Structure formats: C-alpha cells, structure tokens
Structure 1
Amino acid sequence: MALSTHTTTTDFLLPSIHSAPPFFTQQLHPASLSIATEQWIQLILKYARHRRLFTIKVEDSEAPGNNWDEVLRNERINRKVLPSYLTYILAQMVSKKLAVYEPPKQDRSVLIYWRLPEEWAEVLHDWVSSTGNLNTIMTFYEITDPPIASPLSGLPIPLLRQAIAILSRSNRAQIIAIAEGEGVRFFPSTGKA
C-alpha cells in the first residue's frame, strides 16, 4: 500500500506517515523512535488545535469511540497506537513542556498545550480588552463559557489559572475572592514588556 494522506470525518488532513504501519509501533532504534515520536507529538498538537481538544488520556488508545479515534487508529491498515507507546509519547510531550499531567501526580492523562500558557495569557487579555471588561471582575465561568463563543470557550480551568498567573506577574490581572468563589480583574497593559 502506498503512503497517502487522508482527510478524516472532521476534515483534518492526516499526513502520509499515518498510513505507514511502523508509525503505530514504538520503535526500538533510538533515532527511529525519536523521529516517530516527534511526528506523533506534532500530529497530536495539530489535531488538538483543529478539534479544540485540551486533554488526551492513555485510555483513548484502548477503547474506540472517543475524540482521538481518527488519530490514534487507522482502520484502513488495521493499526492503532498501543497504550504503552502513547504513555511514552505523552511523557515526551510533558518533558518538552508541550503538555502537563492533569490531574498532577499521575501519568495517564495530560493537558495539551496546542497553545502555550503564555499564548493563552495574551489571547485572554486581548479578549477581555476587546469585550470592554478591563477593570471589572469576571468569574472563571464568564471567561470559559461566555454567551457568545470566544477563543476561550471551553478552556480548562487549570490552563485558565496558568494564563491568569502569567498576566498577574506582569500586573495585568489579579485574582479576587468573590461570593461565587474566585474571579479575576484585568488591567490595561502598561506598554512595558
């Protein structure tokens, strides 16, 4: 079978390497393993961005019918990523700071950084500025579940907290205790980087 690209049902273009049976196997040769793992990492990041997926779990390689089927399986060549290899790939993503274990203190589920926390901080601040909410207190819910879809819709709270912490260090945000739990006040940029 010739290697070929394939468009999934969600209109994601899988690279031709996805049609190569060895791609789904953890390679023994260190150089081959490194190259294949890097290709997997890039594929996972691109797919996550395409679908706005924030987490991937080792279990996603074990049971069909989840958000990751199109990537972790290739029914055309009867291949899937084994849980042990996906565990390795996720560990590499964490070591490269492209993901973080979520919840912490386990190694079977990660929060994917298809946009780094620093990038989310800028998206967050730009969105708050564009909606006229500077100097007002907003709840986390208002940010992640706004009435009109935004780039922050569905953002996981741990990632939102990281973005707010980054903005806090540059004096552009402050966590505030409110009746509903926690809120955040955003401040205009000072012009200093």
Structure 2
Amino acid sequence: MNLSTYKTASGFLLPSIHSAPPFFTQQPNTATQAGFTEQWTRLLLAYARHRRLFTLRLEDAEVPGGEWDEVLRNPRINRRLMPNHLAHVLDVMVSKDLAVYEPAKQMRAVLLYWRSPDEWADVLHEWATNTGQLNTILTFYEISDPPVPSALSGIPESLLRGAIAVLAKSGRAQLISISDGDGVRFFPPRTK
C-alpha cells in the first residue's frame, strides 16, 4: 500500500495515514483504535486551526462538499469517516479537554479547542493591549467581529466567555453587564 501526503484544495497537508483505508474504520483492536483516535484528534484540531473552524457536528461526516469534507472523506481511496466513528473520536476529545459538547447536554456537536481557553485568554489580552483597548469597555460583538479582522474574528461567544473568565481570575479583565448584554474591560497585567 502506497501511503502519501496530500494537499487539499484549501492548502491543508493531509498526513499519509489519511491514505490508509483502515484509518476510516473503527478497529476491533483497542490499541490500534486508540492510536487511530489520537491521530484523528491531531488531524481534526490541525484542520480546524487551518480553516478557523470552531464547531464539528456528527452531521458533518454525512455532508458531501461541507466545510469538513476535505478531512472526513478521502475520495482517492473511496473512504469516509462514519458518524458513529466520529462520535467516538469526539467523545475522546471531550474526555481529554480538547473539545466540549456545545450546546451542553447533547453529544452531536462539539466546540473544538484548537486553542485552549487559557491560550485564547492570552490572544485576547494581547489583542486588547495591541489595539489600545485597555481600560475600555467592549461588547462581545466588537471583539468577535472587529472592523479589522483579527485572530479573534468569528470566535464563538462561549469560547470568548471562557477566555474572559481566565483573564478575570488573573485580574486582567472584568466582565461587565451593559444594555446590549455583556461587555468586558481589560486591564494591564499586574506587575509583581
């Protein structure tokens, strides 16, 4: 079997394992399945980061031409990841804090942590500092849909709230209720 890497239309380089038909099938051997699940986890997070995708749903495994199609299917070997296999991968990702079920209390869609809430907190505070937003109250909309695209463009509100909570614990931000909903004020880092 000739396994090779492959560059997708979006410019993402699929690893050679993506050319192996068994990669797309749940394996009866638990060690083999655990290895494949680890590789799927890395692949899905890398692809999500590459495409700036935050959500993955079981339905994405069944949607030809969808935003996840390049990674969940391999037409060159006529294989696709089935929803029940994807559900297993997502469950493992959630158990390792690499994703959370979103919305909560269901198991069909996850919010992916290709950056952890702590990492998003650092990105958020750096953005606020670099754009002169310290000591200014901003709405969530102003952060997730800024006039100049940023690393925070399109960030889901629940992930933004998690990042703000991290900043609030360290005294670098404060959640504020405003007429439009919630806002946040950023503070300079505390000096020791």
- Residue 102 (structure 1) shift: 0.3
SS in 2 for 1:189: coil
Q: What is the match of residue 99 of structure 1?
A: 99
Structure 2 residue ranges without an equivalent (≥5): none
Does 2:70 match 1:70?
yes
TM alignment of 1:159-170, pairs within 5 A: 159-170=159-170
Q: What is the match of residue 45 of structure 2?
A: 45
Q: Name which of structure 1's ranges 172-181 and 130-139 shifts more when overlaid on structure 2.
A: 172-181
Distance in 2 (alpha carbons) for counterparts of 1:55 and 1:36: 21
Q: What is the match of residue 134 of structure 1?
A: 134
Does 2:177 match 1:171?
no
- Residue 117 (structure 1) shift: 0.5
TM-score between the two structures when normalised by the length of structure 2: 0.98
Distance in 1 (alpha carbons) for counterparts of 2:95 and 2:179: 38
Distance in 1 (alpha carbons) for counterparts of 2:191 and 2:38: 37
Q: What is the match of residue 114 of structure 1?
A: 114
SS in 1 for 2:44: helix
Structure 1: which 4+ aligned runs deviate by more than 6 Å? none
- Residue 191 (structure 1) shift: 2.8
- Residue 89 (structure 1) shift: 0.2
Structure 1 residue ranges without an equivalent (≥5): none
Counterpart of 1:64, as a letter, is: P
- Residue 122 (structure 1) shift: 0.4
- Residue 180 (structure 1) shift: 1.2
TM-score between the two structures when normalised by the length of structure 1: 0.98
Task: Map Cα deviations across residues 13-68 of structure 1 (whole Å, 9 max, x no partner).
Answer: 00000000000001110100000000000000100000000010000001212110
Q: What is the match of residue 149 of structure 1?
A: 149
Distance in 2 (alpha carbons) for counterparts of 1:83 and 1:182: 36
Aligned-residue CA RMSD (Å): 0.7
Q: Quote the sequence identity (%).
A: 64
SS in 2 for 1:2: coil
